[in-house]
Every structure is written in C-alpha cells, then in structure tokens.
Structure 1
Amino acid sequence: MNKTVVVTGAGSGIGRTIAQVLAQRGWLVVVSDINLAAAAETVATLSDEHNRPHESAELDVTDPVAAAKVADGVADRLGLSAWVSNAGISFMQKFLEIPLDQYEKTLAINLKGVFVCGQAAARAMARTGIAGSIVNTASMAGKQGKVPFLADYVASKFGVVGLTQAMAFELAEHGIRVNSVCPGYVATPMQARELAWEAELRGTTPGDVRQMWVEDTPLARLEEPEDVARVVAFLLSEDASFMTGEALAINGGAYMD
C-alpha cells in the first residue's frame, strides 16, 4: 500500500508531532509549512527507520495554485494517499474588540485553507485513482461556542467540522475518506501565547489560567501533541477504513458530545 502523506503547518507544534508519529509508523511524509526553513527542521527530526525519503515543501494553504502544485507533484512522483490539513492560527480578544481584518485572517487560514488544500488533495487522489484519506484539524472549539475570547477561532473551527462532513459525503464516490480531529488544551507554542493572552484579558497570571484549564479537563492534565498525532495516525490507517465524516474529540473529557 502506498503510504505518502502531506501534513500542512508541520513546521512546529501539533503538525510537527503528527509528521513525526506518521514517519515512525512507516509513512513517507511531505512536511509543508509557509516557513520552508521550519519545514526542513521538522524533516530533520523524522525517523529514517523505514528508509523513507521524507521531504519538505513551502505552502501557503490559502493559495490554490500552490496547494495544487504540492498535491499534484506528490501524486505524480510518489502517489498521494493521505493529506492532513493542520495549519492554523489563533488570536485572543473579546468579541466586541475583534477587528474585522483579524477575523478574516483567521477564517482564511483555518477554514479557507482546509477547503483549498482539501480540494487540491482530493483532485489529485481522484485523478490518480487513489482511494485516499484526508484529516482536518478542527478543535474542541469547533463543537461548542462556550470558549472565551476566541469567537473568530470558534467560527473557523465550526466551519471545519461542517466542511469535513460535506467533503466526506461528496468524496465517498471516489473512495476518499475525510475526518477531523478536535483537540482540547494542547501544550504547544500556540498554547503558550494563548495562556499569556487569556491571563491578560482575565487580569490574572498564565499559571492560574493553566491550572484552570487542567481543572476543566477530567483526565487532569494538559493535552500533549502526541495525543492528537496518534489519533490522526489511526484515522489514516486501515483500522479506520469504514469511518468518514467524523469529528473525533481528543480533549481528556473537557468537552463531551
């Protein structure tokens, strides 16, 4: 079975860990990021146990021409069997204070990027006759609006969950499965920024906010990127071959649906 996957936003954080876990499990990983140097740094961390020639690629996920170039290039050279749309941003501010340009930027990367890349990947898979799998990174904030200071992010991630279902429905005829993952409080550089932002907005300390997040999680710890990456690996595996259109919660019980 062909095992080549493109992971977007994989220059750091969850994306880097997804790339690492997939490489450990025998995937040839094409690490993409808007920052090519960061993507190359991730490639340098990937396992070579399976002798797979991992690659890096520069990709602005909002650019359909760039996305098609990556997807078609990988499909024609290596065979594209999976795509993980993980690239995303966050920004914290009270709803009444969110500037429109920030809202538009969040939706462009978090939602338009998933649409653009999903379309490029699915077209490449359908053209080459590969019944592949696509995984989109949504969020716990894509299932509930009770998330402070992240209205633009919530809107984008609700959109990802809905788009995942629409993609799954239409792409089933090509044998392409589409699912999403919904992480909770993941310990990443992005989370460190959010801790500082939320502490300032609440008039408290990052340590207090962190403790509040832990107390909000029944499993009583912050999530690690590996917790997300292992579920992504499952969704790309044969074990999930009859799953499509799902939004899997990976949040330690912080939100249950």
Structure 2
Amino acid sequence: MSKGTVLVTGAARGLGKEIALRLADDGFDVAVNDIASNRDILLKVVEEIKAKNRASSAHVADVSDEGQVKGVFDEVVKTYGGLDVWVNISEMSVDDWDRTMAVNCRGVFLCYKYAGLQMIQQGRGGRIIGACSTSGKRASSPFMAAYAASKFAVRGLTQAAALEFGVHGITVNAYAPGPVQTDLLDYLDASNAEATGNAPGSFTQAATKWGPLGRVGVPADVANLVSFIASKESAFITGV
C-alpha cells in the first residue's frame, strides 16, 4: 500500500535521484521531474523506482516557466489522484544570475504555489520541501553571489509559505546542507579553479573544513533528512 504520492523536481541525478529512490523505499509512489536535456536519465530513474515496486512517472519541464509547472502538477494529480509531498532539488550553474534566480527562486515560488493549491484542495494536509543551502544562511564564496541571493530568498519564501499553508495542515520546510558531493560541487570546483588559478580539487578540499565533521556530505545524508520531513513524525515542524 502506498504512503502517498511524491513529486520530486530536479530528480534526474545527484540529490534528486537519491531522494526519489529513498522515498520510494519509504513506501511512496514517486513522480520525477527534470529539464528536457535530462529526459533519458530521468527515465532511468523511473525504472529504478518501479523496480522497487512503486509507481513512478517522468515529467519533463522547466520549473521557471509557470505554464510548465502547472502542467506538471496537473499531470501528477491526473496520474495518481492527488499529491502529498513535493520536494525541490536545485543543482544549477551559478554563472548566470538571471537563470539562477529564475530556477532557484522563481521556480521554488511557483512549485510552492501549485503544490499548496493542490494540497489545500485535497483537504488532507501535506508536506512541501524546498531546496535551500548553508549559502542561504551565510554567503560562503565571492563567486556565488547569485546562488546565495537565491537561497536567502528560499528561506523567506519557506517561512512565509509555512504561515500561509499551516492552517490547512501543510508543513513547509527546506533542507539546507553544506557542500554535498554531486555534479554541482564538481562544477563549483572547476569554476573556482578557472577563476582563481587554484589547482583542481582545492575548492572541494577547502569545503571539507567548512563544518565540524571534516568532510563534505553525500546525497544519502540529505535524503535521510528529507525522508524524515516527508514522514508523519515531522508533523509539528514547519517554517524551518
């Protein structure tokens, strides 16, 4: 028996894929989304979820486009009969301010909007889980201004949405990890090396010292947290 339906945006690889597979293990049916260029690997994620005996489907869309966002939510509700959890994944480049803000900030707003509207209509509460970062609490690099600004915005959106949707039994939270070993970290390392002349790998090595554990995270570290936030045990946590 399914625990409900989850939609994970940005789920083709890295954190998104790890979270989608973990929530399938937790007993959810998982719809996955990513951009058109990632269609083929997104379809492979669907097959991995189905191999766990959970329903899954791929929904290709750009989350910065409102029409496409609404279309994805409509497709998911038509396919599964409703929506119980939405999880945002963000692994975009940081060299294009407009694109970064459109995906990381406007995209989160649009998904909060349509996830919230659907859950309010269903009348059974739900979980909305956004993608923030430690960069949304403290800027960590002079080369990540757009990224930090977008993540600070996600914090405000998350808190405001929690206040708006709480009366409907919908919690709104955002995970905010430090550096995690994904394609994005590899990109940041390469970009840092190009911009500063530092040796490749130096950015990632420095990142191991940003926290008390002396290492960067792995996708499973974030997936474990999302698993808890998506569960009934997290019902009294919101706006965090």
Short-chain TM bin = over 0.9
2:91–2:184 contact (8 Å) kept in structure 1: no
What is the CA distance between 1:66 and its match in structure 2?
A: 1.8
Indicate the residue corresponding to 1:11 in structure 2: 12
Q: Contact between 1:85 and 1:135, CA under 8 Å: does it hold in 2?
A: yes
How big is the shift at 1:151?
Answer: 0.3
For residues 202 and 35 of structure 2, the distance between their equivalents in structure 1, rounded to whole angstroms, comes to 33
The reply on whether 1:83 has 2:73 as its aligned counterpart is no
Verify: 1:131 aligned to 2:131, yes or no: no
TM-score, structure 2 normalization: 0.93
User: Aligned pairs, how many?
Assistant: 236
- Partner residue of 1:43? 46
> In structure 2, what residue type is equivalent to 1:58?
V
Q: Gaps spanning 5+ residues in structure 2: where?
A: none
Any runs of at least 4 consecutive aligned residues in structure 1 with deviations exceeding 4 A, and if so which?
none
Report the Cα offset of residue 48 of structure 1. Answer: 3.5
Q: Is the 8 A contact 2:189 2:202 kept in 1?
A: no
Q: Is the CA contact (8 Å cut-off) linking 1:134 and 1:176 kept in structure 2? A: yes
- Cα distance 1:74–1:47, how it changes in 2: closer, same or farther (>3 A)? closer
1:62 equivalent in alignment to 2:60:
no
Query: Aligned-residue CA RMSD in angstroms?
Result: 1.5
Q: What's the TM-score, normalizing by structure 1? A: 0.87
2:200 to 206, 222, 236: 206
The residue identity in structure 1 corresponding to 2:113 is Q
Aligned to 2:23: 22
Counterparts of 1:147 and 1:155, CA distance in 2: 12
Contact 1:75/1:128, CA 8 A, preserved across alignment: no
Q: Which amino acid aligns with 1:178?
A: V
Among candidates 98, 105, 129, match of residue 99 of structure 2? 105
Q: Write the deviation string for residues 41-91 of structure 1: whole angstroms up to 9, x where unpaired.
A: 211222634x22211111210122222222133234422001012134132
Cα offsets for 1:21-53 (capped at 9, x unmatched):
11111110001111322321211222634x222
Aligned equivalents of 1:2, 1:59: Cα separation in 2: 25
Counterparts of 1:181 and 1:169, CA distance in 2: 18
Percent identity, please: 39
Q: Helix, strand or coil: the match of 2:153? A: helix
2:211 & 2:18 partners in 1: Cα distance? 22
- Counterpart for residue 251 of structure 1: none
